[in-house]
Homo-oligomer: A and B are copies of this chain.
Amino acid sequence: MVRYSVLDRTFSALSDPTRRHILERLARGPATVSELAQPFEITLPGLLKHVRILEQADLVITEKHGRTRQCRLGTEPLDDAAQWIQTYRHHWEGRLDRLGSYLDKHEGARR
């Protein structure tokens, strides 16, 4: 069972397009904060704010190497988020399947 507060933080972190872009970039490999900032029209402090939110949600792990800060992905929270969506879709698809079987049976009875 996924702890609820973890899902709160994960989904909240994913609700911003800049933060999703940062994760998409890091999925291709680690990057420094300056490298992450490059594609965005955003100040470094502005980007750092997003990185901190991702860090608090364990979606990004940062390490200081001398004067630069290296960022890489933390994937566990995303697995939990995907699992929540999957479980919920299974319930829903299960209902649709049962409805389909009912309609098939009903149709069969009318033939």
**A38 contacts B by Cβ under 8 Å:** no
**Chain A at the B interface: SS class:** helix
**A101 contacts B by Cβ under 8 Å:** no
Q: Are A73 and B92 in touch, CB under 8 angstroms?
A: yes
Task: Give the B-binding residues of A (Cβ under 8 A).
Answer: 4, 7-12, 14-17, 20, 23-24, 27-29, 73, 75, 78-79, 81-82, 84-86, 88-89, 91-92, 95
A23 to B12 alpha-carbon distance, docked (Å): 17
| Contact among B16, B79, B81, B84 for A8, CB-based, below 8 A | B16
A77 to B39 alpha-carbon distance, docked (Å): 27
Q: Are B84 and A78 in touch, CB under 8 angstroms?
A: no
